[in-house]
Amino acid sequence: MFRRDIHRLRGLALVLILVIHAVRLFDHSVRYPIFLPMSMLGGNATVLFLFISGYLFRHLSDRFRPRAYLVRKLRYVMAPYLLWSLPAVALALAGLAEAPRMVFADYPAPVQALLLLVTGQHLLPFWFLPTLFLFYLCGPLFIRLDRDGRVYWLLPLLVVLSVVVPRDMAFPPQSFVHLFSVYLAGMYCSRYRVRVLDFVGRYGWLIASLVLGLVAWEYAILDVWRHNPLNFLHKLLLCPLLLWVLDRVPVWGGRLLDYLAGISFGLFFVHYYWIRGFQLVLGRDGLPLPDVPLAALYVTALLLVSVATVEAVRRLSGRYSRMVVGC
């Protein structure tokens, strides 16, 4: 059964990812007041994506066939990842792109390319794909855990583990451990959907208060660029809260979220190439960012050119578009 609420949550998660990455376009020599709110809003948006992945995995688990599942993910997620990685890997090997966090210079070029691909270090957002693939590989394990059910009692401890073990964008296994609780939380919300939505309906005010408290604490004490446990926790708490809102409340812009969700993987693959291109044109100074309307304009422009790129690629690739751009 198609779940429009979880579908629209994916569209919203994509917008938040564009917000956090768009911050890199701006003039960092000036500490504009909007930097911190944008970073807090978009930071850890991948938590929403992992929650959605876990939810949909459990929601569709009756159809799970290990081989068919893995082949589908290889064709429609990892194949586009490899294709869209080629320009970034080539630029990295030629020394024309940002140096990867891990130093591979002592290895031959083919080994460097392989290491970049398995770590996702060739383009900033691509760290997420090797980590996501680890979740795909563990599909049979998650099926067993869900059928047994006892693992859900460990969710509070696993959330603590996520706080203690930060994500490492250069080391997918550590990011897998960090995000394990998020994926499992998505599965839990799918398994106990009615119970979860009823709880949020009764105590949503408390969850919202906790989210606002974490946001206020984060705003008061933490730096704009720091990926921190407060941001992780408030994004995790937002997931069931947003599910309830998207399920029960008519959402302005719902059709737009539906559309963005449908092409979310394509937007994920292409948007940062536009950011890098804009950075090359703008140079070190970047764009001025004096107020909220101008920031919204920049993010909207980034979204529009990314959408146009995805649609152009989809038209050119025809029936192979899912293998080329993931949608």
Spatial separation of the C-alpha atoms in residues 125 and 271, rounded to whole Å: 9
pLDDT at 68: 93
Is 225 a domain residue?
no
Q: How far apart are the first and last CA of the chain?
A: 20
For residue 26, list its beta bridge partners.
Answer: 287
Is 137 a domain residue?
yes
Spatial separation of the C-alpha atoms in residues 2 and 327, rounded to whole Å: 17
**Token digits of residue 265:** 């993987």
Find, among 277, 271, 280, 282, the residue nearest to 26 by Cα: 282
Is 53 a domain residue?
no
**Does this model's pTM top 0.75?**
yes
Is 125 a domain residue?
yes
Q: Which residue has the higher pLDDT, 108 or 155?
A: 155
Q: Which residue has the higher pLDDT, 223 or 232?
A: 232
Q: What mean pLDDT is predicted for residues 183-208?
A: 93
pLDDT at 42: 80
Is 195 a domain residue?
no
**Token digits of residue 247:** 């399920």
Is 264 a domain residue?
no
- Domain residues for the domain of 83 are 63-186
Percentage of the residues of the chain whose pLDDT score is greater than 70: 88
226-235 long-range contacts, Cβ below 8 Å, gap at least 24? 227/43, 227/44, 227/166, 227/167, 229/163, 229/166, 231/40, 231/43, 231/44, 232/44, 232/47, 232/162, 232/163, 233/159, 233/163, 234/210, 235/43, 235/44, 235/45, 235/47, 235/48
Is 50 a domain residue?
no
The least confident of 92-96, 235-239, 299-303 is: 92-96
Cα–Cα distances in Å, from 54 out to 146, 231, 234? 11, 20, 18
Spatial separation of the C-alpha atoms in residues 311 and 76, rounded to whole Å: 16
CB 42 within 8 A of CB 304: no
- Find the helix or strand (DSSP H, E) in which 32 lies: none
Find, among 135, 95, 124, the residue nearest to 274 by Cα: 124
Residue 224: pLDDT band (50, 70, 90) is: very low
Is 216 a domain residue?
no
Q: How far is CA 324 from the centre of its chain?
A: 19
Q: Number of structural domains, the chain?
A: 1
45-67 tens-digit pLDDT: 899 999 999 999 999 998 889 99
Find, among 2, 19, 13, the residue nearest to 301 by Cα: 19
